[in-house]
Structure 1
């Protein structure tokens, strides 16, 4: 159960990191979208100014779908296609935006494309049809679609690092879990312990084990029990116990030994075959019935 919980924690942390990275990416994309809208609004403003129109409104820039935007105008307008090419390219360059995009001048009435062209960072892939034919005054939308962002190669380029990070974290978690699962078995095999009746005493780990139940021991309890286990069924004088356990550990109070002996008795009470007896005026003895 505890290993499943550990694995769940590893998965949760990994997913948290991936979600955090994704969130940061989305935040960057949202910021990128806002920058594009600013650039396209400026492009619309420049087109109006070229027609000496400084009063007509540019309607809010719409994002039709990821990386596809629409410029709309309050009033009908006429276009010189070369102005559209120049103004949009200049506005995007001003904010260091993508050079790979497609532009369509769409008629509001029927949705037909009145003029279109494609720009690309690779000159041979740039397509600009004849720009000398003016478009008559009418209602137009200008649709700008950024190409490389939605391309498959760009998607792979963007997400591949995150997939790799996720895979590395998952693999690291698997290795850690496998090591962690093996560790208790290794400890049980390699840790030395002494048998006291039905108990297993692990002095290095300060614990008793009985039927898979662990009983923690304090440092003093562990040191006292070590002495008793090394000398079963033998009387150990009080002076010897106090000297070995308290000699280099500060001030010894006369009742301290009795207090710790009482604590040990409570922790050993579940096995009737072992007991710590008080030898009046002398000391204590660990009595173990099965010692030969």
Structure 2
């Protein structure tokens, strides 16, 4: 007689690998989607910010020219010289009063809802030396605005705006969406892993059986299967049969059977054992290669050929 068969190891291994590959595939696709969204969103946010900054910086140039009582000279196109860094140039020379420059830029940037951490540098066109600079930060203690009240002589200047906190390029709403997508990906991964574990457990449980002659005994499902016929067993019949199958061709005493099936559960039996043995004997008679026999005065034995 064969011993208890858990599930075919090779088949189970292949099933596990296929399930894991599906999980990894879905998870990988989800992460690629999130990553693509992050990159696309970041690029879109940067483009939006860049356009807003150019408009705001151009307005700063317009206000400076008006302060110089210049209504005719041109403001040259605002350039993004590096990521987060913009350059404002003028057609003609102008004088700059730092106090006024700080006020104009602060007012314009607030109206445009631009990031609040930036550095301003006023460069001389002739030698690109820094004629004046200051730094604004949300942390007031880190804000540096020197030399207030001293005007810069009239000449050609280039004003460079550098945003210090590039994280501000991503809007809060998009950040929340990205966090939500990542969280959803992790939740789906956990769900698939749990589903796979449960499915594998049920699959293995449904395939556990012991072979008795031409019968297949499924102890977890309380049934015997002979060819295509299923025979339901009571809980006690199932417990008794499991004991006999674990010790074939061996005499098992009545006292042991009653103790393990009844008395261990707090129940004392009289003739119940004989009744259940009789029922099992009738069921097993369908296969002549096995026999459940009575050893008078001792117990019972499951004989197999």
TM-score class, shorter: 0.5 to 0.7
Which residue in 2 is equivalent to 1:2?
Answer: 18
Closer, same or farther in 2 for the Cα pair 1:120/1:128, shift >3 Å? same
Question: How many residue pairs get matched?
Answer: 206
Larger CA deviation: 139-148 vs 176-185: 176-185
Which residue in 1 is equivalent to 2:114?
Answer: 97
Please report the TM-score for the alignment, with normalisation by the length of structure 2.
0.55
Q: Return 5+ residue gaps in structure 2 as ranges.
A: 1-16, 217-224, 231-285, 289-305
Which residue in 2 is equivalent to 1:188?
Answer: 203
Please report the TM-score for the alignment, with normalisation by the length of structure 1.
0.57
Closer, same or farther in 2 for the Cα pair 1:13/1:291, shift >3 Å? farther
Question: How far did residue 12 of structure 1 move?
Answer: 0.7
Determine helix, strand or coil for the equivalent of 1:43: helix
Residue by residue, what CA displacement relative to the aligned partner does 1:79-120 show, whole Å, maximum 9, x if unpaired?
222221121112112222233221110011211001112223
Which residue in 2 is equivalent to 1:80?
Answer: 97
1:176 aligns with 2:175: no
Over the aligned positions, Cα root-mean-square deviation in angstroms equals 4.0
Do the aligned residues in 1 keep the contact of 2:34 with 2:182 (CA within 8 Å)?
A: no
Cα distance in 1 between the residues matched to 2:90 and 2:140:
31
Which residue in 1 is equivalent to 2:241?
Answer: none
Determine helix, strand or coil for the equivalent of 1:118: strand
Cα distance in 1 between the residues matched to 2:133 and 2:72:
27
Which residue in 2 is equivalent to 1:123?
Answer: 140
Cα distance in 2 between the residues matched to 1:129 and 1:230:
95
Determine helix, strand or coil for the equivalent of 2:72: coil
Do the aligned residues in 1 keep the contact of 2:23 with 2:189 (CA within 8 Å)?
A: no
Cα distance in 1 between the residues matched to 2:138 and 2:18:
56
Cα distance in 2 between the residues matched to 1:143 and 1:10:
44
Question: How far did residue 7 of structure 1 move?
Answer: 1.6
Q: Return 5+ residue gaps in structure 1 as ranges.
A: 201-225, 232-289
Question: How far did residue 184 of structure 1 move?
Answer: 4.5
Larger RCO of the pair (alpha carbons < 8 Å, separation 6+): 2
